[in-house]
Amino acid sequence: MKYFGTRSLSSFMHGLLTVVWYLAWAFAVLAIVLGTVIVFHEQFGSPFSGGMADSSRADIRDWERFQSLPLGVRILILPYFGAVMTLVLMVLRKARILFSNFRSEVVFDPENVRVIRQISKLVIAMAVLTFSAGSFLTGVILLLICEILAAGTVLQEEHDLTV
């Protein structure tokens, strides 16, 4: 399998991430609009009623508990969702830059080190926000891979400047 250059895994991933990027934007806008209506419109009722979603008793109980909270507390869900979606979109944007560089066969490059370091920090921030141990581990592993790439970049530079 070809990993870098045109018609490679990197090229495929860049195309896939471009599609996901636009889908994520559409989802974020739709979720903010629908979420605002559902959270703040008292007459909207439960999203689990009317057969719209496959729901369990626990889901319905959680929803009712959420609806019974004061408006000041319920409003906090919007900045929280906004923060998570912002982090997701930033990760997607950075990943697109990274795979674009890989597609152009630019691998051991200081820009890639910078981008992977930013992605790892964003993933760790997302892990803290969503209480996800898996994401936290992924972020830490990415941070270590970034340091390996940084060392590789130094070696590549040495190689390029050896005549």
Partner 1 sequence: MSIIFRLDRVMADRKVPLNELARRIGLTDSNLSILKTGKARALRVSTLNALCRELGCQPGDLLEYVPGEPQEDFDD
Q: Summarize as ranges the residues that interact with partner 1 (CB under 8 A).
A: 157-158, 161-163
Distance of closest approach, residue 70 Cβ to partner 1, in angstroms: 58
Angle at CA of residue 30, ends 26 and 33, nearest 5°: 145
Cα 99 to its chain centre, rounded Å, is: 15
Considering the complex, state which of residue 47 and residue 152 has its C-beta at the smaller distance from partner 1.
152
Single out the residue of 87, 88, 141, 106 nearest to residue 10, CA to CA. 106
What's the residue count for the chain? 163
| Structure-token pair, residue 144 | 């270590």
Question: What distance in Å separates the CA atoms of residue 122 and residue 143, rounded to the nearest whole number?
Answer: 11
Distance of closest approach, residue 143 Cβ to partner 1, in angstroms: 21
Considering the complex, state which of residue 59 and residue 109 has its C-beta at the smaller distance from partner 1.
109
Query: What is the sign of the dihedral through the CA atoms of 146, 148, 154 and 157?
Result: negative
Considering the complex, state which of residue 64 and residue 157 has its C-beta at the smaller distance from partner 1.
157
Query: What is the sign of the dihedral through the CA atoms of 142, 90, 13 and 8?
Result: negative
Considering the complex, state which of residue 43 and residue 162 has its C-beta at the smaller distance from partner 1.
162
Distance of closest approach, residue 147 Cβ to partner 1, in angstroms: 14
Distance of closest approach, residue 154 Cβ to partner 1, in angstroms: 9
Distance of closest approach, residue 160 Cβ to partner 1, in angstroms: 8
Contacts of 132 (CB under 8 A, 6+ apart): 126
Considering the complex, state which of residue 65 and residue 159 has its C-beta at the smaller distance from partner 1.
159
